[in-house]
Amino acid sequence: MWSLLRRDAMTVWQQVELKNRLVKYREIFQNKRLPRYKLARLFHVPFNEKMKKDELMEIHEHYQPKFKEWLEEKQQYSIEDIEKEVFSKYKEEEIEKNNYLKLKVKILNDVLSACEFCENRCKANRAEGKIGNCGVDGKAYVSSAFIHMGEEAPIIPSGTIFFYGCTMECSFCQNFDISHLFSFERFKGRGSTALDLAQTYYTLSKQQARNINFVGGDPTPNLHVILESFLDAQVNLPMLWNSNMYLSETSMKLISDIFDIWLPDMKYSNNDCAGKYSKAPKYWDALQRNMKMIEERGSGEYVIRHLVMPNHTNCCSIPILNWINENLETPLVNIMAQYHPDYKILRGAFPELNRRLKTSEMYEVRKHADDLGVYWKSVS
């Protein structure tokens, strides 16, 4: 039925260049390759519950290249064959207690008591119920979960989970009702457990989801619950991280090799614009680092989103395209034209952003992408 609504979700795969850029992602939903989280929970890593965060992180970094190598070798095997091999070496209870995914969950839960999941590093003690700059406490609050048909063609139908709260505050936010202006007291304490999330993945998979898409607001404040849910999840679907990518280095170390595909939002190409319009200090430094980490440690498969903004082609759009072209191996870029004034802009903030885009601005950015040879048409 969905293929009638969006025929391009089928036809887009006839484009060889696009297909070659999302090989691993496609093979996962075709059941020819395992999602990364399933391998992470079968990869033995020795640690114990008493160890402190720094020691656990050291162990994580020691095993990260080994996991990468193992994953590359095994991802196209069947889960039965991998289990057979792993359980011939270790007891089942041993793997359940000491695996790479569990190590990540343990570190994230330790970080939660002085939270630095995102680059704000506001150190809120979310483990004890304190609310961080992102607007939520230590639980994961789902606003909605459904099959999204409005995403880019290779992504739909997308089993999308929207979380409350956000790590940045864009003055023009188009999702401000779940990012910032929600009444937390109304649902405080009634967060979703890891098991609730795992059940949601199953429900979405039965509705023909091609992936599980974590978004918000921003999904970053919920990392600990999301990764814990992967310990229970059963779906053979790619896990998709759809985010502003304003994550701390620690968070990126923990998730860069777990998600199968990425929808990073690359908004600004300098710290000044990000600080001024989105209250995100050191945004550009963090964004460059995090994008490179996906290349070096993770799948390197993504659909980058860039929202072209009025009066920001020279300071942001053009340099972002240059950076993508120079630094990323096989990017697909959705150059988005749908900017409209919203949220604080409608209440008088930053008059320079209080209009829609001019055709000439879009033309300039898309022409620059063509001149560079950046691949964008089939996802924009």
Q: What residues line the site for ligand SF4 (CB under 6 A)?
A: 115-118, 120-122, 124, 126, 132-134, 167, 220-221
What does 281-336 look like in DSSP terms, one character per residue? TTHHHHHHHHHHHHHHHS---BEEEEE--TT-IIIIIHHHHHHHHHH-SS-EEEEE
| Closer residue to ligand SF4 (CB): 215 or 303 | 215
Least spacing, CB of residue 147 vs ligand SF4, in Å: 27
| Closer residue to ligand SF4 (CB): 93 or 185 | 185
Sheet with 158-163: strands ordered across: 142-148, 158-163, 212-215, 239-243, 261-264
Least spacing, CB of residue 68 vs ligand SF4, in Å: 26
Least spacing, CB of residue 121 vs ligand SF4, in Å: 5
Least spacing, CB of residue 247 vs ligand SF4, in Å: 9
Least spacing, CB of residue 332 vs ligand SF4, in Å: 28
| Closer residue to ligand SF4 (CB): 116 or 257 | 116
What does 78-102 look like in DSSP terms, one character per residue? -HHHHHHHHHHHS-HHHHHHSBHHH
Strand spans (E) along the chain = 142-148, 158-163, 212-215, 239-243, 261-264, 303-307, 332-336
Which residue from 262, 233, 235, 229 is spatially nearest to 247, judged by alpha carbons? 262
| Closer residue to ligand SF4 (CB): 134 or 309 | 134
Least spacing, CB of residue 199 vs ligand SF4, in Å: 25
Give the count of beta carbons closer than 10 Å to the beta carbon of residue 223. 26
**Chain residue whose CB lies nearest ligand SF4:** 132
| Closer residue to ligand SF4 (CB): 12 or 118 | 118
| Closer residue to ligand SF4 (CB): 118 or 328 | 118
